[in-house]
């Protein structure tokens, strides 16, 4: 939390902290500027170094030429004996670390009597006195490449080397050419009399170079500081500031502040980014509000739904339940989540492994004292991968009770409690088919109440209904449990007698007639006329034929005085 708070606090300040865009921009700019200025300063320093060295070489070259000229003047004037003193005095000149006059073999001249003896022999007299102390001083090897180059090219050769102390020094080897005036004392040999070696220390030159480089470094640092200061100011104002404002707005939006807007200044790319961000946030706010509205609707539907709703994640863990589930299953939400999908219906299997999108509906699941309709569906995403399951539970106990009641009412006469004509048609078809396939006898009784119309006219419909109720009750009580009793219509009744032959049917009909005849309504006896038809194992006609033949027998009972039983004539029963 502390780190997050710190980041939140510093987000509002357009600083140049590490991992910030501004810091990276300035760092990149600093690298580029530093690289550019460094390259420029290196180029400048190198040019200055070369200029200083070139100027120093040129100056020393001129000094060398001047020394050679002076030496020639001394020698031509006949003052050869002071040439070595002249050379020794040059060594004390500021900047000259060594000055020597060499013979062509690399030995220092004026240190022995070789030249004096050669001159005296050449002139034929003893004009020049020999030196008392002599010694050979080798300076350069005869095969030294620089010496050989100077002798061969007869030009000044310069080269850089280190002295004994490790310092850098510049040496010039200048050949002393044989002049015509020299033939007074010297015999011409290869056109070169000797070599002038002048060595100068480069400490002063290197100090100048270091000073130049230091000046360049100071200029580099000052320029870099000024450029970076200006760059940081411009970056903070024109780039970092707008980016931070957009970043702060995005953080606010991430926290749910969809009303946040970014100020738009100017018409550059960052301004257009800010304007696009504001437009995007407006669209996002409208979309969020629409989604929130739809979510509220969906939540209202789920919470107020009468059906129980359960949802799981891909692992099968229950993540959503609505109040209806707890009410239907009589379980609290914590228990439902703890028991999971497998224990949702107390052990009733729910197959979670099915084809995605396919719903499994268990039409009748008996759960405790209820009847439930359960639909289990696998939820898939656009790629077809399973992302969970949903269970829809509907309590259909009342519906089932109503359905059964309606089915019963659709098959039952409301006044007598017996089956109605529609139920008779279905049952008669079934019994005829069973009797035919099993070679089993089947009988049918058809009867109606005698003089029912006159009774109804005399005592009213209420009394007539009571007669129908009594006949229905007596019929239900008199017939066997396997018999199918039906009010056929009006005052007509039909009874199906499975597995009953003509004799048994006649006996049952007579017992029914007698039982009804014992009743009185409004002081009037109630009688019925009954027609009996049977089919045996030789075959059974259709239900319509049986009804027609029973009706014919009933008609004969009416004709023969009523309150009697008539069996269908031979050949009519089957």
Catalytic residues: 491
Name which of 489, 565, 559 is nearest 527 in CA terms: 565
* Degrees, nearest 5: CA angle 236-16-19: 125
Structure tokens at 213: 């480089």
Q: How far is CA 337 from CA 311, 322, 340, 348, 430, in A?
A: 10, 12, 5, 16, 50
Name which of 377, 369, 376, 388 is nearest 329 in CA terms: 369
Return the HEC string of 105-129. Answer: CCEECCCCCHHHHHHHHHHCCCCCC
Distance CA 330, CA 305 (A): 16
Cβ pair 237, 230 in contact under 8 A: no
* Degrees, nearest 5: CA angle 431-552-438: 20
Rg over CA atoms, the chain: 67
Cβ pair 194, 176 in contact under 8 A: yes
Q: How many CA atoms lie within 13 A of 263 on its CB side?
A: 6
Name which of 181, 160, 163, 180 is nearest 172 in CA terms: 160
What residues have CB less than 8 Å from 423, skipping those under 6 apart? Answer: 410, 411, 412, 486
Structure tokens at 502: 């003509």
């Amino acid at each position: 939390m502390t780190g997050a708070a710190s980041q939140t606090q510093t987000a509002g300040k357009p600083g140049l902290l590490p991992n910030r865009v501004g810091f990276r921009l300035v760092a990149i700019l600093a690298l580029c500027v530093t690289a550019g200025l460094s390259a420029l300063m290196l180029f400048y320093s190198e040019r200055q170094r070369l200029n200083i060295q070139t100027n120093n070489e040129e100056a020393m070259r001129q000094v060398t030429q001047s020394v050679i000229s002076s030496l020639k003047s001394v020698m031509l004037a006949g003052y050869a004996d002071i040439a070595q003193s002249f050379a020794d005095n040059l060594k004390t000149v500021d900047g000259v670390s060594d000055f020597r006059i060499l013979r062509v073999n690399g030995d220092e001249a004026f240190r022995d009597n070789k030249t004096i003896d050669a001159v005296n022999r050449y002139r034929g007299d003893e004009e020049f006195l020999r030196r008392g102390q002599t010694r050979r001083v080798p300076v350069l090897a005869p095969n030294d490449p620089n010496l050989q180059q100077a002798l061969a090219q007869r030009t000044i050769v310069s080269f850089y080397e280190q002295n004994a102390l490790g310092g850098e020094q510049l040496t010039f080897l200048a050949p002393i050419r044989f002049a015509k005036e020299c033939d007074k004392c010297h015999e011409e040999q290869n056109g070169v009399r000797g070599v002038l070696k002048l060595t100068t220390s480069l400490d002063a030159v290197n100090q100048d170079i270091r000073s130049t480089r230091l000046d360049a470094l100071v200029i580099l640092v000052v320029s870099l500081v000024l450029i970076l200061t200006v760059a940081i100011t411009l970056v903070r104002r024109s780039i970092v500031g707008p980016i931070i404002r957009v970043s702060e707005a995005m953080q606010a939006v991430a926290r749910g502040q969809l009303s946040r807007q970014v100020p738009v200044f100017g018409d550059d790319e960052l301004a257009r980014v800010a304007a696009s961000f504001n437009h995007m946030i407006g669209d996002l706010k409208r979309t969020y509000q629409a989604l929130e509205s739809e979510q509220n609707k969906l939540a209202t539907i789920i919470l107020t739904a009468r059906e129980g709703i359960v949802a799981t994640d891909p692992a099968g863990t229950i993540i959503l339940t609505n109040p209806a589930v707890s009410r239907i299953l009589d379980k609290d939400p914590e228990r439902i989540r703890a028991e999971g999908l497998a224990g949702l219906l107390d052990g009733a299997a729910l197959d979670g492994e099915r084809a995605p999108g396919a719903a499994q509906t268990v039409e009748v699941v008996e759960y405790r004292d209820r009847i439930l309709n359960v639909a289990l569906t696998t939820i898939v995403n656009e790629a077809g991968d399973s992302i969970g399951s949903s269970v829809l539970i509907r309590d259909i106990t009342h519906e089932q009770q109503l359905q059964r009641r309606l089915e019963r009412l659709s098959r039952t006469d409301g006044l007598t409690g017996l089956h109605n004509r529609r139920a008779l048609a279905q049952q008669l078809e079934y019994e005829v088919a069973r009797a035919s396939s099993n070679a089993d006898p089947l009988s049918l009784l058809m009867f109606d109440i005698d003089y029912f119309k006159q009774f109804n006219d005399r005592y009213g419909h209420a009394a007539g209904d009571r007669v129908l109720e009594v006949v229905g009750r007596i019929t239900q009580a008199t017939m066997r449990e396997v018999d199918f009793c039906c009010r056929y219509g009006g005052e007509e009744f039909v009874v199906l007698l499975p597995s009953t032959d003509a004799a048994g049917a006649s006996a049952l009909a007579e017992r029914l007639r007698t039982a009804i005849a014992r009743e009185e309504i409004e002081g009037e006896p109630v009688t019925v006329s009954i027609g009996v038809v049977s089919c045996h194992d030789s075959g059974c006609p259709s239900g319509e034929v049986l009804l027609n033949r029973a009706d014919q027998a009933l008609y004969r009972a009416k004709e023969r005085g009523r309150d009697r039983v008539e069996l269908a004539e031979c050949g009519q029963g089957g």
